[in-house]
Amino acid sequence: MPSRAHPYDQLTPDRVIAAIESVGFLSDGRLLALNSYENRVYQIGIEASAPVVAKFYRPGRWSTPAILEEHAFAFELTGAEVPVVPPLIRGDRSLFEHEGFRFAVFERRGGRWPELATEHDREWMGRFLGRIHATGRRQPFEHRPTLTLERFGETPRDWLLESGWIPEHLLAAYESVSSELLDAIATQLEFTPALLRLHGDCHPGNILWTEAGPHFVDLDDCLTGPAIQDLWMLLSGSRREMGEQLGQILQGYAQFSDFDYGELRLVEALRSLRIMHYAGWLAQRYDDPAFPRAFPWVAEARYWEQHVLNLREQMAAMEEGPLELS
């Protein structure tokens, strides 16, 4: 496992506060690190005003045009009265730089993780996503990534095979099952759905819910892909339960956006890509001290044993055919 200096070595509390003050805020010195791994996110106290939230983008991850396109999407959604939290504008800019770190500042917005335990909540969530996708269909991204087999499956698999992360006793099994799974995914992706701008990482942990309903506070993973990508991660339980949940979500979704029911065949293929991509992401980021603290089990053989098992289970799930709504 190669080691290199992680990109946040130099992002000290003093630099965080200096960065905020460089764009016109006067900090009261209070600093709270918020739960984030890919970037660094802080709540910062402001003199005689409400705290703000600053996101420091991981160096080297996104190009500046890609970050600005994320911001533009947030502004476009806000203009369509869709509840997201856009970056704050200071001097006609939303992206700033201080001592080598690019960052954006946001209004602090609270809420709780959604339970989505009732039909009412699922329909509400469907309406929210339908509104986002209605806006997302208006024009394409130019600089954000597209959800592809290569980016989310082949690339992390090849990196894991070459990096030394897969324990030796699992190498043959991982190489075999991942190859079979990628072939099966490729077959499913021969169905070509309409692509649009998406949130891209729409699981309940990335959604906040208040009495006014759901909202997003971050679009860091927004990308181009099929609509079902923003729906399937909200599902849980057995196939029957997931079919029921998705049917209820789509009842709300259909009030604002069309849905191609042919995309139901992509659910397990997209789940498989996420599992493969997630394992590669954890391993690639493990030189960042935040990752061993949060995910200590990634360095253990049993994690990779379970990962191989998960890939085999995905092979079986894909053989069951498309999810059926109820």
Residue pair 180/318 in contact (Cβ under 8 Å)? The answer is: no
Whole-number Å distance between alpha carbons of 157 and 160: 5
Residue closest to 88 by CA, chosen among 141, 51, 126, 39: 51
**DSSP letters spanning 64-110:** HHHHHHHHHHHHHHHHTT--B-PBPPBTTBS-EEETTEEEEEEE---
Residues labelled catalytic = 201, 218
What's the token pair of residue 268? 């397990």
Compute the distance between CA of residue 198 and CA of residue 214 in angstroms, rounded to an integer: 16
What does 7-35 look like in DSSP terms, one character per residue?
TTTT--HHHHHHHHHHTT--EEEEEEE-S
Which of 270, 162, 184, 260 shows the shortest CA–CA distance to 223? 270
